[in-house]
Amino acid sequence: MKKAGILLAVIAFIAMSFTTISNKEYTTNSSESKVEWKGYKTGGAHNGEINILNGMLVLENDRLVGGDFTIDMNSINVLDTDSGKLLRHLKSGDFFDVEKFPIATFKITESTIIESKTIVKGFLTIKGITEEIEFPATISKNDKDQIILESETFKVDRAKFNIRYKSKTFFANLKDKFIHDEFDIKVRVVSTGNTN
């Protein structure tokens, strides 16, 4: 009986030796990473970009298992118009209130592979409010030991983050003078493997 116990322990040790879990962290390159956005109103739309300040991706045996990145809300811009008024409005308390909430964050909790696509899940925080979201993405690796996470375009509901301006969720009498609650987001995160 004692010999059987020893044998089982040896087998378990050998199995663990061959089942190595390899986690690797990749530091986000802010100059190569960005968030693209597009918002919709009656009869039109506006689009722009927001910079990613910093972050990291964590892979376990080449599968995304965690990470996070910080978004610089002060860097938000508008690409389809040179209207400074619109940019000031987006930065104001009507929308993102960047003076009070200068950053937004996304924390990755897990990912799953569905039909060759990676579904990234995590917690998005805007204006101090955190909501769980998920989005489809492709994750690739280049010859510079960089991991590139590139999402498909997905929707975020601004009403969930208390962004109320001309929202039908909060104001019922807007008629056709409303701005859609859902806006488009597309994320590109380029991260380089740590050498230490």
pLDDT at 106: 98
Instruction: Assign residue 163 the CATH number of its domain.
Output: 2.40.128.110
Is 109 contained in some domain?
yes
Position 180, amino acid? H
Is 1 contained in some domain?
no
Is 7 contained in some domain?
no
Is 94 contained in some domain?
yes
Is 184 contained in some domain?
yes
Predicted TM-score of the model (pTM): 0.86
pLDDT at 20: 47
pLDDT at 98: 98
Buried/exposed 4-13: b ≥16 CB within 10 Å, e otherwise: eeeeeeeeee
Please state, in angstroms and as integers, the Cα–Cα distance from residue 36 to each residue in 48, 148, 189, following that order: 6, 15, 11
Do residues 150 and 117 make contact, with C-beta atoms less than 8 angstroms apart?
no
The tokens describing 119, both together, are 């579904």
Q: Which residue has the tokens 């100059």?
A: 31
Is 56 contained in some domain?
yes
Alpha-helix runs per DSSP H in the chain: 2-18, 84-91
pLDDT at 103: 98
pLDDT at 14: 44
Q: Domain of 135?
A: 22-193
**Alpha carbons 119 and 136: distance in angstroms, whole number:** 4
pLDDT at 194: 79
pLDDT at 151: 98
Is 106 contained in some domain?
yes
Residue 126, burial from CB neighbour count under 10 angstroms (0-12, 13-18, 19+): buried
pLDDT at 18: 45
The tokens describing 152, both together, are 């498909």
Short-list 97, 4, 80, 15, CA closest to 45? 80
Please identify every stretch of the chain with a pLDDT value under 50, giving residue numbers as ranges: 7, 10-20
Eight-class DSSP state of 21? -
- Give tens-digit pLDDT for 163-177: 999 999 999 888 888
The tokens describing 57, both together, are 């991706």
Is 10 contained in some domain?
no
Residue partners of 141: CB distance under 8 A and separation at least 6: 62, 147, 148
For the chain, the straight-line distance linking the first and the last C-alpha, in angstroms and rounded, comes to: 46
Domain total for the chain?
1
